[in-house]
Amino acid sequence: MSEPPMVSFENVTKRYGSLTVLDGLNLTISRGEKVAIIGPSGSGKTTVLRMLMTLETIDGGVIRVEGEPLTHTERQGRLVPANLAHIRKVRAKIGMVFQSFNLFPHMTALHNCMEAPVKVLGLSRAEAEARAADLLEMVGLSNRRDYYPSQLSGGQQQRVAIARALAMRPRVMLFDEVTSALDPELVGEVLQVIRKLGEEHDLTMLMVTHQMGFAREFADRVCFFYEGRICEEGEPKAFFQNPQNERSRQFLRAVLEAG
Amino acid sequence: MWDWAFTLEILPALARAAVITVEVTILGFLIALTLGLALAVCRIALPWTRLPISLLVELIRSTPLLIQIFFLYFVGPSFGLTLDAMTTGVLAVGVHYATYCSEVYRAGFESVPRGQWEASVALNLGRATTLRDVIIPQAIPPVVPALGNYLVALFKETPLLSAIAVLELMQTAKIIGSQTFRYTEPITLVGLFFLAMSLVSAWAIRRVEAGINRRYRR
Ligand SMILES: Nc1ncnc2c1ncn2[C@@H]1O[C@H](COP(=O)(O)OP(=O)(O)OP(=O)(O)O)[C@@H](O)[C@H]1O
Ligand SMILES: [Mg+2]
């Protein structure tokens, strides 16, 4: 039997009241795959990532991580809601970077990256510090390790946030419009870090982005969301050069016009 | 009008009483701070405690402290709760102000952005760790001034304990007055003491506030 996909959404539905935000979503992501999620505002892109991070409940279907249901366990062939221990075990494989950074403002860059490794993984402070220092170096912030978030630029804060997520050694990294809150001149430094991460073949990456250029050059696959469904997906080159669906064409035209 | 010799004579007794007043204040406020925090944390961490805690808070806040003190002291024993006057007073004042403090903490918790909780989930931090390391350190600094106000308010209500004969300042002044038929000096001194202490604690609160702001750079 082949190994299970890294992540799979199986017939996943999400509703807010009477609004169906995701409608029977099926999406399978293999290990190491870099997937870009694009689509108009309100099409459910953020919701997909938030459900995978367990920040939202799901109303139907199941999400699996390496074959294991994320928020459920299988009992006698049926899926029943799982306890917190199970969720935490599966969730440990997922890391997320937010649009608004969400760094802990009362901790330095270094401590932001040490908190979870010490408290969740049980690393000693020395081990956690070494790991955090390595990651801060990777994102080019060795000389800012003792700064508080309020003393860092947006781009620097976002790079710390990436290092903080990586410190937990996740298998899957989720990026939700991580450059949208940044001044234009700071976007490049963050994308550069993400590019570097992309070179790690084992890390699966799922990113919601409005940077079409980056999606095209970086992703293995583009998924175009429209009204809670994947309307079109495919290799970036093919998708951007020759979109098949009328809605994707409209969307790309609008994005291009906006610059 | 003002008898200095008499003043000097009653000063030791009043000083002893002042110590009691300060003790009641400090112990009562410690209870208020910790119990208040516990109530606020329970409301967040254990949803089923929300309703009973709201009811308790509402009950305590809508009845006078004096009645609660009397109740605890005179009705408590019929429920097998027999405490001396000082303990009763400290407990009553502490629990009463805990309800106010819990509301203050709650406002502090609500001021912490949702993104902080979400980042904690994304890092797989447990609930207790999230509260202790992420949420509480951000929730408390902004509410230190409000908590400080309650410290001063609590302090100014300690004379209520004279109703159950705790030998705090007010009770001592009343005793001196009834024994010597001179009220001017003892009551004035008590007033001056409260004034001085209020000023001192206002100053101390500002220092604590500044220290916390420096520590947590908000
Ligand atoms: N907590 C919520 N309560 C009610 N509706 C919500 C909530 N969160 C999201 N929605 C709705 O769900 C839909 C999808 O939202 P989502 O944030 O996933 O969109 P998106 O594709 O990320 O959009 P954007 O590009 O603007 O970020 C939207 O219509 C949104 O209004
Ligand atoms: Mg979004």
Per-residue pLDDT tens digits for A162-175: 999 999 999 999 99
CA-wise closest residue to B38 among B95, B89, B93: B95
**Residues in chain A closer than 8 A to B214 (CB atoms):** none
- The pLDDT, as a whole number, for residue B217 is 53
pLDDT tier for residue A77 given thresholds of 50, 70 and 90: confident
Query: Which residues form the pocket of ligand 1, taking CB atoms under 6 Å from any ligand atom?
Result: A 16, 21, 39, 41-47
8 Å CB contact of A105 and B138: yes
- Domain ranges, residue B197: 4-217
pLDDT tier for residue A187 given thresholds of 50, 70 and 90: very high
- The mean pLDDT value for A216-220 works out to 95
Query: Is the distance from CB of A245 to CB of A231 less than 8 angstroms?
Result: yes
Q: Quick one: how many helices (H) and strands (E) in chain A?
A: 9, 12
- The pLDDT, as a whole number, for residue A259 is 64
Query: CA B139, CA A238: separation in Å to the nearest integer?
Result: 50
Structure token pair of residue B106: 């709650």
Mean pLDDT over all residues of chain A?
A: 95
Residue B77 sits in a domain of what CATH number?
1.10.3720.10
- The mean pLDDT value for A218-223 works out to 96
**Would the pLDDT of A134 be above 70?**
yes
Judged by its nearest atom, the ligand closest to the C-alpha of residue A25 is 1
8 Å CB contact of A53 and B122: yes
- The pLDDT, as a whole number, for residue A117 is 98
**Would the pLDDT of A12 be above 70?**
yes
DSSP string, B171-186: HHHHHHHHHHS--HHH
- The pLDDT, as a whole number, for residue A1 is 59
Q: What percent of chain A has pLDDT over 90?
A: 92
Identify the residue whose C-alpha is closest to ligand 1 atom 3: A16
pLDDT tens digits, A95-115: 999 999 999 999 999 999 999
- The pLDDT, as a whole number, for residue A129 is 98
Please tell me the distance in Å from B37's CA to the nearest CA on chain A. 20
Residue A225: in which H helix or E strand, if any? Answer: strand A221-226
Identify the residue whose C-alpha is closest to ligand 1 atom 2: A16
Judged by its nearest atom, the ligand closest to the C-alpha of residue A14 is 1
CA of A189 to the centre of ligand 2 (A): 21
∠ CA A86-A91-A93 to the nearest 5 degrees? 120
3-state secondary structure A172-196: EEEEECCCCCCCHHHHHHHHHHHHH
Compute the Cα dihedral for A63, A69, A71, A74 and give only its sign: positive
Structure token pair of residue A69: 């249901």
**Would the pLDDT of A57 be above 90?**
yes
CA of A45 to the centre of ligand 2 (A): 6
pLDDT truncated to tens, each residue of chain B (218 aa)?
889 999 999 999 999 999 999 999 999 999 999 999 999 999 998 999 999 999 999 999 999 999 999 999 999 999 988 899 999 999 999 999 999 999 999 999 999 999 999 999 999 999 999 999 999 999 999 999 999 999 999 999 999 999 998 989 999 999 999 999 999 999 999 999 999 999 998 898 889 888 887 776 55
Identify the residue whose C-alpha is closest to ligand 1 atom 1: A16
Name the A residues in 68-107 with CB < 8 Å from any B CB: 88, 91-92, 94-96, 98, 100, 102-106
**Residues in chain B closer than 8 A to A96 (CB atoms):** 122
Interface residue B125 vs chain A (CB under 8 A): yes
**Residues in chain A closer than 8 A to B119 (CB atoms):** 98, 102-104
**Would the pLDDT of A177 be above 70?**
yes
Higher pLDDT, A67 or A201: A67
Q: Least CA distance to B212: which residue of chain A?
A: A106
- The pLDDT, as a whole number, for residue B153 is 94
Report the number of distinct structural domains present in chain B.
1
User: Which residues have a Cβ under 8 Å from the Cβ of A122 and sit 6 or more positions away?
Assistant: none
Name the A residues in 146-205 with CB < 8 Å from any B CB: 148, 150, 164-165, 168
Identify the residue whose C-alpha is closest to ligand 1 atom 7: A16
**Residues in chain A closer than 8 A to B121 (CB atoms):** 53-55, 91
Higher pLDDT, A225 or A1: A225
Query: Is the distance from CB of A8 to CB of A28 less than 8 angstroms?
Result: yes
